[in-house]
Structure 1
Amino acid sequence: MSFCSTPCDQPEENQPLNTEASSTTEVPFPDSYYERITENRYKPTPHASGAWDPDELHFSPLGGLIVHAIDQYLAARPETGLVLARISYDILGRLALDECEIRVDTVRPGRTIELLEAVVLVADRPVVLARAWLLAGADTSAVAGGPDDRLTPPGELGSWPMSSVWPGGYILSLDTRPLAPPRPGRATAWVRSRVDLVAGEPSTPLASYLALVDTANGIAVRQPPTAWMFPNVDLTIHLHRQPVGPWTGLDTTVTFGPTGQGLTSTVLHDLEGPVGHAQQILTVRPLSGG
């Protein structure tokens, strides 16, 4: 993979990104990952495509969309003061670049601890199952403590074109700024998106932040994705503090085992420091002819 140690050519921050070739007959698509179709249905734009196949959906924006749906589910009921502390996603199959429906329900209600479940359906088939633990918020600043290593701010770093490694509209929508040239299995980088999550709708800082976390499996590849597949079949995120955007910091290590399994482990950061951890289990196998 190539690395740009000085700022590469990037679109202006508010300039719409278009992942298709320009032409006089081209119909522009929204500057967002999704459009709302009905109360619970969403249509992806080409910005949401990739990374293993540009004709499929990249999971990262879908992960953020699920949190967006959870936020709206919570907003429709009385305020409880609970905050999302863990969310786990199980990816059940191929993610077609097609309309999806998201259903959110309460599995375990409670005043201080609550468990929600979200199911994503494409063509009436479940493709993602997510579960989110909500915990009571309280002032624990007097006893707060833990690692506080802050990453070099993104404003001091050059951009890296991830499209040199990965195809798809999602990768093209990102501004990625590594702290050092990515190495096989190791990278630390800031990522930011220049497009909205859902067209015409504000997203919470949490949904926008989590919409970028799945990118971790693509910033520190151990083997070229043209020769090996190593997709994650899940993503689990634990938060000890609510993150603030617009940058998502990924301090990522990728390990391949000897029997076809791998693990992507990430310390998550915002500009104030660490906010939690993410884990992704991988299925590792060679591509035909790779």
Structure 2
Amino acid sequence: MNTGATARESYYERTGEHRFKPTAHAGGAWSTDEQHFSPLAGLVAHALDRHAADRPGGLVFGRISYDILGRIALDECEITVETVRPGRTIELLEATVTIGGRAVVRARAWLMASLDSSAVADSPHAPLPSPDTLPRWAMDAEWHGGYVSSIDVRRAPQSRRGRATAWLSSPLDLVAGEASGPLASYIALVDTANGIAVQQDPTVWMFPNLDLTIHLHRQPEGPWTGLDTTVTFGPTGQGLTSSVLHDVHGPVGQAEQILTVRPQPHR
């Protein structure tokens, strides 16, 4: 019987207790047969979040660091999570993403006790302009892939290459039929930073990131992920994408991505 309800689209479908199949919306920007790392980072955060929820203590995430070990094919993946260092006030988790029997991502997350420090809360970073005040940016005019086509990007006019301020949101679920916490939904958009403030034309130069490290001083709230991003290219093939992270209430932390900068191969 058709009730008239329309199923929401998603980046992944669960195929087992720890297994997930990417949809076309998870397609990468550098190659259509690869996953974009942004939704996968959110999926890993989702797995870490669920693992942490089963443990007592009420700890919150202070850092998640991802190492990208190789090509991430647009294929079914398995995510396993273990507790490396249990504790009542701090805890360290590790997640491994495996595709075709090969580890492609390893992530470590520090969880910390949540205490009331509101009396001294402060940041030198000013809040970003509201998403409603910034124009939509057709990111898919410069980048390709299912993920880029799925997101809503509001970007301020750039003052120079390598600098951008943007807000991102997505109408898609992270995992079909599953509620994701605000942290996983927020992180699922952070890796996009490397594509919003490009230094060079991506059809001429490649600059994929090898990692993503996120530090948080406050737990983010959705539905918008704010990025105040700076991209630097060095003279010997390395680059760095640095972002101050925001939600609509103000800054929440910082993200860093190390880049491998090289010319696109001749075709």
TM above 0.5, yes or no, is yes
> For residues 65-100 of structure 1, what are the alpha-carbon distances to aligned partners after superposition, in whole Å with 9 as ceiling and x for unaligned?
0010011112233x3111000000000000000000
> For residues 182-234 of structure 1, what are the alpha-carbon distances to aligned partners after superposition, in whole Å with 9 as ceiling and x for unaligned?
74211000011111100000000000000000000000111111110100000
1:54 corresponds in structure 2 to 32
The secondary structure found in structure 2 opposite 1:142 is helix
AA in 1 matched with 2:35: L
> For residues 118-171 of structure 1, what are the alpha-carbon distances to aligned partners after superposition, in whole Å with 9 as ceiling and x for unaligned?
000001100000000000001111121222411110112210010111100000
Which of residues 112, 120, 124 is equivalent to 1:135? 112
**CA distance, structure 2, for counterparts of residue 169 and residue 250 of structure 1:** 21
Which of residues 101, 108, 117 is equivalent to 1:124? 101
Distance 1:285 1:109, change over 3 A: same
1:237 corresponds in structure 2 to 214
AA in 2 matched with 1:149: A
AA in 1 matched with 2:15: I
Which of residues 67, 72, 93 is equivalent to 2:50? 72
**CA distance, structure 2, for counterparts of residue 181 and residue 228 of structure 1:** 20
AA in 2 matched with 1:108: R
1:224 corresponds in structure 2 to 201
AA in 2 matched with 1:150: P
1:188 corresponds in structure 2 to 165
Which of residues 247, 257, 263 is equivalent to 1:280? 257
The secondary structure found in structure 1 opposite 2:48 is helix
**CA distance, structure 2, for counterparts of residue 183 and residue 34 of structure 1:** 36
**CA distance, structure 1, for counterparts of residue 64 and residue 228 of structure 2:** 19
AA in 1 matched with 2:27: S
The secondary structure found in structure 2 opposite 1:258 is coil
**CA distance, structure 2, for counterparts of residue 236 and residue 213 of structure 1:** 10
- Are the counterparts in 2 of residues 182 and 188 from structure 1 also a CA contact under 8 Å? no
1:166 paired to 2:143: yes
1:210 paired to 2:187: yes
The secondary structure found in structure 1 opposite 2:108 is strand
Structure-2-length-normalised TM-score:
0.95
- Are the counterparts in 2 of residues 236 and 279 from structure 1 also a CA contact under 8 Å? yes
Distance 1:66 1:182, change over 3 A: farther
- Are the counterparts in 2 of residues 120 and 126 from structure 1 also a CA contact under 8 Å? yes
**CA distance, structure 2, for counterparts of residue 170 and residue 183 of structure 1:** 25
AA in 1 matched with 2:243: T
1:54 CA displacement: 1.4
**CA distance, structure 2, for counterparts of residue 100 and residue 93 of structure 1:** 14
Q: Give structure 1 regions of 4+ aligned residues with deviation exceeding 3 angstroms.
A: none
The secondary structure found in structure 2 opposite 1:184 is coil
Distance 1:148 1:263, change over 3 A: closer
1:97 corresponds in structure 2 to 74
AA in 2 matched with 1:43: K
**CA distance, structure 2, for counterparts of residue 30 and residue 154 of structure 1:** 23
The secondary structure found in structure 2 opposite 1:50 is coil
- Are the counterparts in 1 of residues 92 and 108 from structure 2 also a CA contact under 8 Å? yes
In structure 1, list runs of 5 or more residues that go unmatched: 1-15, 17-28
- Are the counterparts in 2 of residues 182 and 220 from structure 1 also a CA contact under 8 Å? no
2:3 corresponds in structure 1 to none
**CA distance, structure 2, for counterparts of residue 85 and residue 264 of structure 1:** 20
1:33 corresponds in structure 2 to 11
Percent sequence identity is 67
Structure-1-length-normalised TM-score:
0.88
- Are the counterparts in 2 of residues 236 and 278 from structure 1 also a CA contact under 8 Å? yes
- Are the counterparts in 1 of residues 123 and 251 from structure 2 also a CA contact under 8 Å? no
**CA distance, structure 2, for counterparts of residue 206 and residue 152 of structure 1:** 21
1:58 CA displacement: 0.2
**CA distance, structure 2, for counterparts of residue 141 and residue 231 of structure 1:** 38
